[in-house]
Amino acid sequence: MNDSILQTSNFIKDIIEKDKANNHDLTIMTRFPPEPNGYLHIGHAKSAYINFSLAKENNGICNLRFDDTNPTKENQIFVNSIKDDLAWLGLKWEKPTRYASDYFDKLYDFAKTLILNGDAYVCDLTPEEIRTFRGTLTNPGIDSPYRNREISENIELFEQMKNGCYEEGSRVLRTKIDMSSGNLNLRDPVIYRIIKTPEHHRTKNKWQIYPTYDFAHGQADSIEGVTHSICTLEFEDHKPLYDWLLEKLKIHHPQQIEFARLNLSFTVLSKRKLANLVSEKYVTGWDDPRMPTLAALRRRGYPPVAILNFCAEVGVAKRENTIDISLLEHHVRKELNQTASRILGVIDPVKLIIDNYPSNISETFEAINNPENPKAGTRKIPFSREIFIEKSDFMENPTGKFFRLTIGSEVRLKYAYIIKCTDVVKDPKSKEIVEIHCTYDPLSKGGVATDGRKIKGTLHWVSASDSIPAKIKIYDRLFTIEKPETETDYLKYFNNDSLITKTAQLEPSIISSKEGSNYQFERIGYFVLEKKYSNNNSPIFNQTVSLRDSKK
RNA sequence: UGCCCGAUGGUGUAGUGGUAGCACGUCAGCCUUUGGAGCUGAAAUCCCUGGUUCGAAUCCAGGUCGGGCAGCCA
């Protein structure tokens, strides 16, 4: 994890500071507890970052624990992808990797302890009956008829549940708390249920019963010695149950602290909505570069440190929030500006012919790889009579502050020469400009005017015969509205222009690029090489993020 | 007409009884062989009403508004 990441204070740090002041021997222990039932996204990154950074700043420990208590939803594929994503971010967890399923035996014993103490009972009500008996938000529930079973009968029944004697859904183990509590989580919550298929990804067919989240999470925290169990706001109502179980069991009692999960503008982060985008084919998969998943951001070329810096800067608080996606992009640009190699590439090319430049020669010019980092060195780029420039860099009838090319105006070709536009050739039918004719100032080699005249506009270009065609995928925000998350018909606001594919001409040095390498195409944006060769043998680049562009 | 949580510029986030700070964004200027970056500046904020106090974003009371909770999901 990057040590240079800027940190502001937050209420969790305050709590930890106080706890440390009260107990000088305290070793801070946190954990990141994903359920292996999906891919990690930027919101998980925030949560992971909080847990990992809190441990690191306090010379503590952070575990990675998979919350794998429900085999109907979880599998090994997600365990692997989550580990990959965390490693990619550079977050290092305490070894070994933990699993809630590691504690199934202990959890089973804890449950028996509860039964023996009269704090839990086997209930034969159907799921529907349990729901009815639970009451409503405003009306108290009523006791299950099985609530006062003999302890010995409960023990026997629970053991038979474990042994697979009963059908799924026929019986559960519930705590005995308070059916009239204003907090529904305290109305005798279910702590064990029967699940026979599919088999668990780790414990296989050993268990026929599985603990619920409420029964597994706190106890797992306790077993591991977690001191601060940090989770999102929706678990606030579970905290009294978390505390109740730990007190009844008389075991180490971690402190649960809740914070507000991340929301990002112009995208969605709920698993269901993301899954819909995939299943309804709005995107090509979970790692489609438009998605907010870590796998997608990686493919998009986001540097991990930019994501970490972003997580550090969004802060930790309890109020609902929607972070402006431009803050994320800011951190991506900030990092890439320092690290990405520059190249010249023309995405929407139009041919430019320098009429007074000899057709039988070519020159090479030295280009700076990264003006922010002299150590990145230089490279050669070829120049010739016919080049490509960006269509948008020529305007026949310029309006406002247009510093680029127009008939009669002078402009600098970066690293090369100053040129002056003399004429354009249009397609007779479409009226589209097909050729721009210019003359160059032979004395301006390197782009400097010998007479000291100021040249305001500088264009990027590539030599027509030496450039390399490439496929460019340009991405935009996933949705057209700021908060699609709050809309039920959010798919209506999907941004149909979120992916645009173009063919570009790139300078030849790009040949030596490696997959995953970040580039800045000067004056355009940041790009990452996705695949060296597409079907037609040209490389494919994903746009990471555009350059900020204040052109009017 | 239950229980719990929250409210500081457009968006986030500091502040813990003493000039409301920072970041992103926006706007303007400077600089520039990237209209990028960088530099400088600007506009913009304490949910409301009372109370305590010399002094309140902060403490107290009462409101208002927003969010969460009725899986054998996590």
| A474-521 pLDDT tens trace | 999 999 999 999 999 999 999 999 999 999 999 999 998 999 999 999
Is A347 in the same domain as A249? no
* Same domain as A72, residue A221: yes
Does A41 contact strand B, using a CB cutoff of 7 Å?
no
Kindly state whether residues A108 and A224 are assigned to the same domain.
yes
The sign of the torsion formed by the CA atoms of A323, A39, A57, A3 equals negative
CA A55-A244-A112 angle, 5° bins: 105
| Per-residue pLDDT, A533 | 75
Are A347 and A253 members of one domain? no
**% of chain A surpassing 70 pLDDT:** 98
A232 and A351 assigned to the same domain: no
Number of folded domains in chain A?
2
pTM over 0.90: yes
Give the tens place of pLDDT for each residue, A196-239. Answer: 999 999 999 999 999 999 999 999 999 999 999 999 999 999 99
Instruction: Write down the catalytic residue from A83, A271, A445, A473.
Output: A271
Q: pLDDT band at A160, cuts 50/70/90?
A: very high
The domain boundary, picked from A211, A238, A259, lies at: A259
Could you give the CA distance from residue A391 to residue A344 in angstroms, rounded to a whole number? Answer: 15
Nucleotide nearest to A365 (CA to C1'): B33
**Is the backbone peptide bond immediately before A254 cis, with ω within 30 degrees of 0?**
no
Give per-residue pLDDT as tens, A340-355. Answer: 999 999 999 999 999 9
Two structure tokens written together for A416: 């090369």
Residues 208-227 of A with CB under 7 A from strand B: 210, 212-214, 216-217
Determine how β-strand A462-463 pairs with β-strand A458-459. unpaired
Let me know whether A133 and A243 are in one domain. Answer: yes
SS3 breakdown of chain A: % helix, strand, coil, rounded to 5? Answer: 30, 25, 45
Active site residue A35: yes
Q: Round the average pLDDT of chain A to a whole number and report it.
A: 96
Give A7's pLDDT tier (boundaries 50, 70, 90).
Answer: low
Catalytic residue among A261, A273, A445, A502: A261
Query: Is A219 part of any domain?
Result: yes
Tens-digit pLDDT profile for residues A74-96: 999 999 999 999 999 999 999 99
Closest nucleotide to A404's CA, by C1' atom? B35
- Kindly report which amino acid residue has its CA closest to the C1' atom of nucleotide B8: A319
A382 CB burial (10 A radius; 0-12, 13-18, 19+) = middle
Q: Which residue has the tokens 């721009």?
A: A436
Considering the domain boundaries, does residue A483 fall inside one? no
- Kindly state whether residues A111 and A254 are assigned to the same domain: yes
How far, in Å, are A47, A147, A148, A173, A372 from residue A162 at the CA level? 34, 20, 21, 11, 64
Tell me if A301 is assigned to some domain: no
Cα(A217)–Cα(A98) distance, rounded to whole angstroms? 12
Cα A371 to chain centroid, rounded: 29
Report the nucleotide nearest the CA of residue A189, measured to C1': B72
Confidence of residue A2 (pLDDT cuts 50, 70, 90): very low
Residue A415 pLDDT: 98
Residue A204 belongs to domain spanning: 4-259
Contact present, A520 and A501 (Cβ < 8 Å)? no
Q: For the residues of A407-465, what is the DSSP string, one character each? A: TT-EEEETTS-EEEEEEEEE-TTT--EEEEEEEE-GGGGGG--TT------EE--EETT
Given a cut of 70, whether residue A536 has pLDDT beyond it is no
**Of A504, A517, A412, A492, residue with least CA distance to A459:** A412
A61 within a domain of the structure (yes/no):
yes
Query: Closest Cα to residue A393, out of A375, A408, A411, A415?
Result: A411
Examine the fold and report which residue of A259, A291, A307 is the final residue of a domain before the chain moves on: A259
- Where b means 16+ CB within 10 Å and e means fewer, A485-508 reads beeeebeebbbeebbeeeebbbbb
pLDDT band at A535 (very low <50, low <70, confident <90, very high): low
Position A323 in a domain: no
Does A248 share its domain with A148?
yes
The last residue of one of the domains, among A418, A436, A466, is A466
Match 């929301």 to its residue by tokens: A263
Q: What's the rounded mean pLDDT across residues A19-45?
A: 97
A162: CATH: 3.40.50.620
Looking at the structure, do residues A354 and A231 belong to the same domain, yes or no?
no
CB A385 within 8 A of CB A353: yes
